[in-house]
Amino acid sequence: MKKDKRIKLLEIIKEHISNNKKEYLLVSFLFMIGIVLGVFFVNNMQEAQKTEITTYLNTFIEKMKGIESLNFMELLKTSIGQNILLAVVIWFFGTTVIGIPVVFGLVVYRGFCFGYTIAMCITVMGLQQGLILAMILLLLQNIIFIPAFLALTVSGFKLYKSIIKDRNKENVKVEVVRHTVFSFIMLLILILASVVEIFLSMNILKTVIKYF
């Protein structure tokens, strides 16, 4: 029974992606642009800026080494709060005709942060240690976060296109409800990403960072 449900869920996901291929390609492309910009920004920093990020990262590592126990609940509250804010902003701007550039801007910005973090770790710590640190900091939660985030953006973009193409108020209302329900489901997945980030990634980081 559980296997059947999993198969059905996978079919729904596949169908959703297949029906929105162009939208997913667009937001994925924007996210990739953000990553490239983040890497480019770090690689073209002046020496003073590189010194600043080196100091920041080394200070962060030393602090992590010195902390006996992390306040996981406080960290979780902060992470969930940030993801709720992100989901609400995308939901809100997705429901307005003029708001879609903000949604796309957020995609580029998140990609930039992703690329910046990876490039910063590698620049400061070298390829091997930098990649390990970046993977611990980013990999696990972003396996969950990035697909949910991009799906949320696609939903907002679809609503925007519906508003532009169809002026019928009733049809638009239906699309707004769909977007809202979908956004809520994606929010739950983003909250799951927060849980993974705090309770899994941070624990791995706390264990591994003593070797840096």
Q: What is the largest CA-CA distance in the chain?
A: 61
49/11: higher pLDDT = 49
- Under a CB-based contact definition with an 8 Å cutoff, are residues 113 and 38 in contact? yes
pLDDT tens digits, residue range 23-72? Answer: 999 999 999 999 999 999 999 998 888 899 989 888 888 888 877 777 88
Give dist(CA 16, CA 120) in Å, integer.
35
- Under a CB-based contact definition with an 8 Å cutoff, are residues 107 and 153 in contact? yes
Q: Mean pLDDT, the chain, as a whole number?
A: 88
Which of 150, 210, 138, 160 has its CA nearest to residue 186? 150
pLDDT tens digits, residue range 77-126? Answer: 999 999 999 999 999 988 887 888 999 999 999 999 999 999 999 999 99
pLDDT of residue 160: 85
Domain parsing of the chain, residue ranges: 21-211
H-run or E-run covering 157: helix 127-165
104/20: higher pLDDT = 104
First to last CA, the chain: 47
Q: Is the dihedral of CA 5, 7, 10, 15 positive or negative?
A: negative
Helices (H) then strands (E): counts for the chain = 8, 0
pLDDT of residue 3: 56
pLDDT of residue 112: 97
Question: Which residue, chain included where needed, has tokens 């020496």?
Answer: 47
Instruction: Tell me, yes or no, if the pTM score tops 0.85.
Output: yes
Contacts of 91 (CB under 8 A, 6+ apart): 152, 156, 179, 180, 183
**What band does 6 get if pLDDT is binned at 50, 70 and 90?**
low
Q: Residue 8 pLDDT more than 80?
A: no
CA 190 to chain centre: 8
